[in-house]
Amino acid sequence: MLNFGLNVLLVILFLVHVFFAFKGFRDSKVQLMHLLRQGIVDKVFNHSRKTLYLLLIPAVLVTGIATWSFYNVLTYCGASDFILYILIAFFALYSMMVIAAFLFCKVIQLAAHKAGL
């Protein structure tokens, strides 16, 4: 029962993390649109590509751990096979998409700020 509680806590904390990443992504939309209109995102991305890839490694690992905990919670609750895999796939893909978009936006903003744009 303790393991189940820890898995639920981990999933809830991860979902809060994804929520704040989504909120941060939405809050920086104006700055990103300004950079896109200037047409410099490609140049800035080329300079900060390695940083983004290095930041995605822990993001993928954390998403994998949270997805495994979500799988354990769903199997404990008795989810059927087909529904279980659909929920796991949706959870993993959506959360990774939000975190990757947030990291991409922050890396672009930091690189643009460093370049004085």
8 Å CB contact between 24 and 102: yes
Domain range list for the chain = 2-114
* 116 φ/ψ sector (left φ>0, alpha ψ -120 to 50, else beta): left
Below-50 pLDDT ranges, the chain: none
For the chain, what is the mean pLDDT? Answer: 85
The helix (run of H) or strand (run of E) holding residue 35 is: helix 29-38
pTM above 0.85? no
What amino acid is encoded at 105 in this protein? C
Copy the structure tokens of residue 17.
């993390």
Sequence-separated (6 or more) residues with CB below 8 Å from residue 75: 84
Nearest 10 degrees: Cα torsion 64, 98, 14, 112: 100
> What is the reported pLDDT for 86?
92
